[in-house]
Amino acid sequence: MKEFEKYGKVLLNEPLKKYTSFRIGGNAKAVLLPVDENALIDSIKLCKEKNMNYIVLGNCTNILVDDEGFDGLAIILKGVLDDIRVDRNILTAKSGATLRQVATIAMENSLGGLEFAHGIPGSVGGGAIMNAGAYDGELKDVVESVRLLDDELNIIELSNEEMQFSYRNSIAQDRGYIILSVKFKLFEKNIEEIKEKMNDFYNRRREKQPLEYPSAGSTFRRPTGYFAGRLIDDSGLRGLKHGGAQVSQKHCGFVINADNATAKDVRELIEIVQKTVYDKFNVELKREVKYIGGK
C-alpha cells in the first residue's frame, strides 16, 4: 500500500466502524484519505492497474460494512474533499462535503432551497447518487449539474435532466459513476425564514426518529402506495430485537444498533422484517442501506 501514500493519508487494517453511522463493521485492508480530486482519480487508476478492490465512501451514513470487513482500499472523502463555494445563487460543493454543511452555508448566504437537506446525515456525493430527500424536497429539485467520473474515469458533467433522477436513484447509481462535485441552483431568501424552516425539520426529525442510536437512517425504501414504517408496525414488529439489532420503538422504518450489534445481526433482522411484511401484506420492502464487504 506504500505506493498510495503519495495520494494522501493511508491507514492499514483500519476499522471501518470508526467511520460508519451504524458503528458496525470489520477492518478495511487499507483506508485512503485523498488530498484532493486528482489524488482521488489517480488512486482509483492505480487500483484498476493493480486489479485491487476499492470503494469510494462519503459520510458512511447509508452503509452496513460486513463483520469480516472489506478486502481492499476504502477511499473516504469525508473531511477531505469538502470544499464549498458560493457565486450569487449557485452553490458548488465537493462530494465529501456533508449535506448539513451545504445547507448551513446556503443559509448563511441567504439562499433557500436546501432547508430539507439540513437533517439528512449523508454527503453531497452519496446524496446526489441516490437523490436523497426529506420532508418537502429532494436533491433533484435544486441540482443544476453534477461533475463525475464515468466508468472509464473520464471527468464528465451531467445536467439535472441527464442525471435521470428518480426516487432514491440516478444514472450515476445505475452505472456506478463516482461523484466529484455538485452544483446547486438556489434562490434568495430571508435568513430567518430559512433558519425557522430548518429548525422545524430538525425538531420533527428529533421527535420521530431514533437519533440517539447508531443507524443508517431509513432502512427501507418507500413502497409504492405504502409507508415502510407503517407496514412494519402493522406486522407487529415494533421493537423486535435480534442479537444487538432492533426495529426502533420510535420509528419502525429504522433498524438500529441497540446493543453492540454485528452486521450479521442487522442483516438477519432486515431479512426477518422483509419476510414478515411480505407474508402479511404481499409487499416487498427494498433496502436503502447498502451492504459492503464480506464474501
- Rg of the Cα trace of the chain? 19
Question: CB burial class (10 A; 0-12, 13-18, 19+) of residue 159?
Answer: exposed
CA within 13 Å, CB half, 64: 27
Where do the domains of the chain lie?
2-76, 84-207, 228-292
User: What would the pLDDT profile of 195-237 be if each residue is shown by its tens digit?
Assistant: 999 999 989 999 999 999 999 999 999 999 999 999 999 999 9
pLDDT at 153: 94
pLDDT at 257 over 70: yes
Euclidean distance between CA atoms 25 and 15, whole angstroms:
7
User: What would the pLDDT profile of 15-27 be if each residue is shown by its tens digit?
Assistant: 999 999 999 999 9
User: Which residues neighbour 246 within 8 Å (Cβ) at sequence distance 6 or greater?
Assistant: 239, 240, 255, 256, 258, 259, 261, 269
Examine domains 84-207 and 228-292 and report if their fold is the same: no
Per-residue confidence at 122, pLDDT binned at 50, 70, 90? very high
- Is 2-76 a domain of CATH 3.30.43.10? yes
What CATH number is given for 84-207 in this structure? 3.30.465.10
Mean pLDDT value across residues 4-15: 98
Contact 214, 23 (CB under 8 A): yes
Q: Which fold has domain 228-292?
A: 3.90.78
pTM given for the model: 0.94
Euclidean distance between CA atoms 246 and 23, whole angstroms:
14
Euclidean distance between CA atoms 39 and 192, whole angstroms:
40
What percent of the chain stands above pLDDT 90? 95
pLDDT at 38 over 80: yes
Residues with a known catalytic role: 168, 218, 288
CA within 13 Å, CB half, 195: 6
User: What would the pLDDT profile of 69-112 be if each residue is shown by its tens digit?
Assistant: 999 999 999 989 999 999 999 999 999 999 999 999 999 999 99
pLDDT at 295: 63
Per-residue confidence at 135, pLDDT binned at 50, 70, 90? confident
pLDDT at 136 over 80: no
Burial letters for 9-24: b for 16+ Cβ neighbours within 10 Å, e otherwise?
A: ebbeebebbebbbbeb
Mean pLDDT value across residues 47-55: 96
What percent of the chain stands above pLDDT 70? 100
Residue 208 parent element (H or E): helix 191-208
Average of per-residue pLDDT values in the chain: 96
